Amino acid sequence: MSVKKSLKNSVWEGFALGTQMLISLFIIRVINQRFGIADFGTYNFWVTLVSYMGIIIDLGLNLTGIREIGVYQRTKQHKKLAVLYSSSTVLRGIGAIIASLVGIFLFYIGKLDMIQLLLVLSGAVYATFESTWFLQGFNEYKVRSGLIVLSQVANLLIAMRVTSSVLIIVLLRNIVFILRDFFAFLYVGIKYKAFTFVKVKEVVRLLKETFINHITLLMSIGYKRAYPLILRFVLDKTTYGILSAIYRILNIGLTVQSMFTKPFFSTMTHIKDRAKLFFMTWFSTALTVTASVGAMVFIFVTPLFSLIYPGLGHSGVVLQYFIGAVIALFGLSVSGHLNMIVLILHHYDKQLAKIMMIKVFLTLAMLYIFMRFDIMYMTFWLFAPMWISEFINIVYDIYVFRNRKIQQK
């Protein structure tokens, strides 16, 4: 794929992410204004939980799938492409069935009510047909961007009209995503003739191929989302709502990072000179981190924060959460950018998976220690287990680059 095509795809991706981020700000404001900061915490908890379910059910297929689609397209192996498409859907469907059965069991023993069960089941269906990453693999970035923007507009309309419960908003949000991704699933399958009979051998191969990537994604992306889920059981409802507010603008910073990161990846795949690649690695890291942290700080210090979260203000607790979150975002941005360079450009899958597992176990251990000795309630330190482990990840990435243990393929 040419550099021009790569940059064009990146522009469409940036447009989709940027529009999605702006509309999400309006959604957050509507929910806060109508339901209050405590119920916003409930909304954020279930949105995060459904998102985390998607990562688990996906089994790392999005990363492996994009790679293999590119290879099969270049080599015109259309039959293998069709088998990959159908088999990956079946594999995710199996994961969704397991997740649904767990949800039904929790409902049966009284841990979930009916609306919460529907959230789990709809989240499982959404994860089964989550096909927007296939649009990336087939270079259908324009279609992908259009679907993302339309679904986000629909979510805004839902938030503006529903007044009964934040859980109903999340449920309707899941239904919107199901419709969006089912359309993408049919679009790719029909246009590229990707529907075919599923082969058990291909399903098993995919499961083996994606295992390491799944562990890596679950650890690197998933634990960022699992972190606030764990804190929901530690903090009271209002305090968790405040944390969710800060965590949301942290996620906006990460979205900005993605908007800057993708164009660099598209360009860096065409750089053969190692010295230039090293320079581009650190230059792109500095730029993306500045953009992501700058976006978060800008939102917090300007009237935009009060516009999004009316009545929250800049109290001592909010300020301390913000400082801890900025440090965490710095670590997340640097390690996230470097990790994706290692993973996408250098295929350093197994080694990266190991450091991810170490990082997550370290984070959970520190989280337990902090809660055990009540350090968690010193609000500045609420994000400390995350940013300490991220800095360890950064040291590892620097060590790898300095020792030139990564070889491009």
Helices (H), 75-199: 78-108, 114-128, 132-137, 141-161, 166-191
Do 239 and 209 sit in the same domain of this protein? Answer: no
Query: With 80 as the cut, is the pLDDT of residue 321 above it?
Result: yes
Give the residue numbers spanning the domain of 13: 1-219
Query: With 60 as the cut, is the pLDDT of residue 246 above it?
Result: yes
Q: What is the pLDDT averaged over residues 214-221?
A: 60
Give me the count of residues in the chain: 409
What pLDDT is attached to residue 222? Answer: 55
Residues whose CB falls within 8 Å of the CB of residue 374, separated by 6 or more in sequence, listed in order = none
How many domains, the chain?
2
Residue 20 pLDDT grade (very low, low, confident, very high; cuts 50, 70, 90) = confident
Torsion of Cα atoms, 289 then 290 then 296 then 298, to 10°? -170
Do 399 and 279 sit in the same domain of this protein? Answer: yes
Picking from 219, 242, 270, the residue at the C-terminal end of a domain is: 219
Please spell the DSSP secondary structure of 106-139, one letter per residue: HHHTTSS-HHHHHHHHHHHHHHHT--HHHHHHTT
Query: With 90 as the cut, is the pLDDT of residue 152 above it?
Result: yes
What pLDDT is attached to residue 408? Answer: 44
Do 92 and 163 sit in the same domain of this protein? Answer: yes
Q: Is 105 exposed, middle or buried (0-12, 13-18, 19+ CB in 10 A)?
A: exposed
What pLDDT is attached to residue 284? Answer: 76
Query: With 80 as the cut, is the pLDDT of residue 149 above it?
Result: yes
Picking from 189, 219, 249, the residue at the C-terminal end of a domain is: 219
Please say whether the beta carbons of 183 and 154 come within 8 A: no
Do 13 and 101 sit in the same domain of this protein? Answer: yes
